[in-house]
Amino acid sequence: MHNGVLEAQKAKGQMRSVLLLNGNWEVLDVIHWKRALLLLWKNKVRICEEFDDVAIHAFGVNLPSVLALKRLVVIPFGRRFRINKRNLLLRDKHQCQYCGCHLNMGNATIDHITPQSRGGDHIWRNVAAACRACNNRKDNKTLKEAGMHLRHRPYTPSKELVYVGYTYKPEYQHWAQYFTSEGAKSLMREPVSHE
Ligand SMILES: [Zn+2]
């Protein structure tokens, strides 16, 4: 099953992300396509939209582009968007928060401002995008100990981050309508099941 999926993706040369909506079609997160397929396989989500141009041959369907959870889940605001490199790069505008150099998925690291080994939490307000050199230099030290400074105060991103980060790309433009509550309501085709 997964081999077929991989081949389909490789052949297309693209690794699309999938928009995940809550049970009330509120934007929840952007997830990796593999996680999207896992949620589908577990029957946790319904498909709202598909990518017309990315087929999953093993399933005989297209890759979903928007999924909605069948249940309404309550997620604390601070945990809404998972801390991963992709989301962190969006928040920090692809810039090392210490030296200011340009970052991409290949050279970026997730720096814990107060190191986790020193009691720092894995939360948005304690992470910053950093290049490898700065991350190595900072090592296991606090900002003060390392004598380093952040260029921007870290914050917990909202769904606007995802909106700005993705919808400028042609393949994700159709996500835009999910970011207004009116738009999401008008798009809701099926009632949410409460199994
Ligand atoms: Zn740097």
pTM, rounded to two decimals: 0.68
d(CA 70, CA 43): 8
What is the tens place of the pLDDT at every residue in 69-85? 999 988 776 666 788 89
Start-end ranges of CATH 1.10.30.50 in the chain? Answer: 82-146
Q: What is the mean pLDDT of the chain?
A: 85
CATH number of 82-146: 1.10.30.50
Counted residue by residue, the chain has a size of 195
Residues 112-140 pLDDT 10s: 999 999 999 999 999 999 999 999 999 99
Count the alpha carbons within 13 Å of 51 in the hemisphere toward its beta carbon. 22
CA angle 19, 168, 164 (to 5 degrees): 70
Percent of the chain with pLDDT over 70: 83
CB 71 within 8 A of CB 195: yes
Whole-angstrom distance, CA of residue 35 vs CA of residue 56: 14
pLDDT in tens, 127-176: 999 999 999 999 999 999 999 999 999 998 887 777 888 888 899 999 99
Distance 105 CA to ligand 1 centre (A): 14
Confidence (pLDDT) at 105: 92
Look up residue 140 and give its two tokens: 């296991």
Å from CA of 13 to ligand 1 middle: 30
- Give distance in angstroms: CA of 29 to centre of ligand 1: 27
